[in-house]
Amino acid sequence: MNQKKIVCLHFHIFKNGGTTLEWILNQNFGSNAISKDTDDPKGILENKIILDILKKNEKIKAISSHQLRFPLPEKEGVLFIPIVFFRHPIDRAFSIYSFQRNRTDADRPGIRKAKELDLNGYIKWNLEMKKFMPMKNFQVIFLSDKPVETKVNDLDYNLALKRMKNCSVLGVVDRFDESLVVAEEVLRPYFPGIDLSYVKQNVSKDRSGNLEEKIEAGKKLVENETMDMLMEENDFDLQLYSKANEELDKRINDIKSFEEKIIEFQKRCKKK
């Protein structure tokens, strides 16, 4: 077994199941799992900050942040394990609106607009933004380390795709249980007692059903022209989401008795 120190890096993409993943990491690693963002909402948690955190606390086993970016940090004697979950960008856009509309913990422009506007109006407002684009290929922006006000291109998509495939722990939000069973297989050699069973955190109570049902419910509240714009502005994210599903399927096919393992996993979740 590799004798390197193992540190999980959870790239917490906004509204991609990250709060539940943070909960899971805390359940497994306790105080040795931390969440860290800079004071600047648009800031980046640079690799030198990560290395400084580890220098000050050698017991750290997991770091979660909205502001982590690739490439991974490098440190002799340390193996960094990236954790990234992907989400259907249209479902993600609808979820952002629901989440912001129901927030009471902060007063920011996005929250105020969600309370003022209906879903159609909120999406149009987001798509018109020039300085920050949370509903425009945001997952490709995140993985390719582009500035948040910059449109992505084919080169950015290909870089994001390469980094997605190289993620040790890759998940798909609407296939959460499957993703976590695969993640346990990856992490167990390093953490023999790992248990990624969970209780859902930060769930939008006004959105229920499977992926298709949630998207169809949202579409009924959005004008066709707005919907077409949203799809067009997420063309790269839609491709990345499809490739993430393909990659997850490949990893599932490499696991023996996967169906038995997911049944056992879901039993553990019910006991939480």
Residue 2 pLDDT: 54
Average model confidence (pLDDT) across the chain: 94
If the chain, 272 residues long, is cut into consecutive pieces of 10 residues, what is the mean pLDDT of each piece?
A: 85 96 98 94 91 95 97 96 98 96 84 95 93 90 87 96 97 98 97 96 78 96 98 98 98 98 97 90
Residue 249 pLDDT: 98
Q: Tell me what percent of the residues of the chain surpass a pLDDT of 70.
A: 99
Domain count of the fold of the chain: 1
DSSP string covering 144-195: HT--TTS---HHHHHHHHHHHHT-SEEEEGGGHHHHHHHHHHHHTTTSTT--
Q: Which pTM does this prediction carry?
A: 0.94
Query: CATH number for the domain including 229?
Result: 3.40.50
| Residues 83/169, Cβ–Cβ less than 8 Å | yes
Residue 44 pLDDT: 92
For 219-264, the pLDDT digits (tens) are: 999 999 999 999 999 999 999 999 999 999 999 999 999 999 999 9
| Residues 264/176, Cβ–Cβ less than 8 Å | no
Q: What range defines the domain where residue 128 resides?
A: 5-270
